[in-house]
């Protein structure tokens, strides 16, 4: 089935209130249409009605719309998606169905990787807030996709400023309070951003979140300590990160933890991570 043949079915879906049969008919053949053909017909693709159908929530209808939109959106340039489906993206991030959130975050991912389109995201405070909120959800795939987009967005000075010099930082700190798991996810994001460059690390340390992570190393909870040492090890894999940890006395602090491990009955939980930390340092310093 060629793209030109799919368009009448798509138009039929657009004009009906409950087009379940039409969606069923459109979805399978649409997957076989080459993206190059869909791109040629991009001006004819009316996706607004498909986004509106997502709000009605019947399970099968939602699943079909997600599958169809996933295919059709690939045919559109990221900057077009960012400018023309702004409100749809915002609604998608708060949708109760995780597959809709994942569809939306996949588009956010395309946008933040495009230098012409990323500004549309950086200037949309509400959308950024919703992406941060996705880190606090129960679905790990959704959280990972949100972390990936925020990390990618922060590769530029404009992205760092949008993240750390706005209310978004407060939103991130608020989401951290959800539970321990979400707090670790935020640490993971901060370490990813910090590892990019000295400038990125400076933004993260100024936020107070790196300091908060480092304090967890000496906390009473051995499981928290074990998790955080892994993240600190990731930071130590960069030259500027290792330099920062040395300046802050963290490397000496970790040495002292190892010395004290002899008398700690729970040391087996975190000692392998500490050994790995110093193992990585030794490799990096060769």
pLDDT for the residue 285: 62
Is a pLDDT exceeding 70 seen at residue 147? yes
pLDDT for the residue 199: 96
Summarize pLDDT for 45-71 with one digit per residue, the tens. 788 888 888 887 688 889 998 998 999
pTM over 0.95: no
User: Nearest 5°: phi and psi at 284?
Assistant: -65, -30
Q: Which residue has the tokens 């972390």?
A: 147
The sign of the torsion formed by the CA atoms of 9, 12, 16, 21 equals negative
pLDDT for the residue 283: 61
The sign of the torsion formed by the CA atoms of 153, 155, 161, 166 equals positive
Average pLDDT over residues 88-107: 95
Is a pLDDT exceeding 90 seen at residue 154? yes
Summarize pLDDT for 192-250 with one digit per residue, the tens. 999 999 999 999 999 999 999 999 887 778 788 888 888 888 888 899 998 999 899 98
Q: If we measure between CA atoms, which residue out of 162, 198, 202, 169 comes closest to residue 186?
A: 169
Q: If we measure between CA atoms, which residue out of 189, 191, 188, 118 comes closest to residue 156?
A: 118
The one-character DSSP state at 41 is: T
For 127, the 3-state DSSP assignment is: helix
Summarize pLDDT for 108-146 with one digit per residue, the tens. 999 999 999 999 999 999 999 999 999 999 999 999 999
For the chain, which residues make up each domain, given as ranges? 217-286
């Amino acid at each position: 089935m060629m793209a030109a043949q799919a368009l009448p079915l798509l138009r039929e879906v657009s004009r009906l209130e409950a087009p379940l049969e039409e969606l069923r008919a459109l979805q399978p053949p649409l997957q076989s249409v080459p993206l190059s053909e869909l791109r040629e017909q991009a001006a004819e693709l009316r996706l607004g009605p498909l986004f509106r159908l997502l709000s009605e929530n019947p399970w099968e209808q939602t699943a079909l719309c997600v599958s169809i939109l996933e295919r059709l959106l690939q045919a559109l340039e990221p900057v077009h998606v960012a400018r023309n489906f702004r409100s749809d993206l915002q609604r998608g991030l708060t949708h109760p169905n995780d597959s809709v959130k994942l569809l939306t975050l996949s588009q956010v991912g395309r946008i933040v990787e495009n230098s012409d389109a990323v500004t549309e995201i950086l200037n949309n405070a509400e959308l950024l807030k919703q992406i941060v909120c996705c880190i606090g959800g129960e679905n790990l795939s959704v959280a990972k996709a949100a972390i990936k987009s925020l990390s990618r967005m922060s590769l530029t000075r404009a992205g760092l400023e949008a993240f750390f010099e706005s209310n978004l930082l407060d939103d991130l700190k608020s989401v951290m309070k959800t539970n321990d798991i979400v707090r670790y996810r935020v640490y993971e994001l901060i370490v990813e951003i910090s590892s990019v460059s000295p400038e990125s690390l400076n933004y993260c340390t100024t936020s107070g979140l790196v300091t908060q992570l480092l304090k967890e190393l000496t906390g009473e909870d051995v499981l928290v300590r074990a998790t955080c040492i892994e993240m600190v090890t990731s930071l130590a894999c960069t030259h500027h990160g290792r330099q920062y940890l040395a300046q802050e006395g963290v490397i000496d602090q970790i040495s002292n933890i190892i010395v004290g491990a002899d008398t700690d009955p729970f040391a087996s939980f975190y000692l392998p991570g500490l050994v790995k930390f110093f193992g990585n340092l030794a490799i990096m310093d060769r």
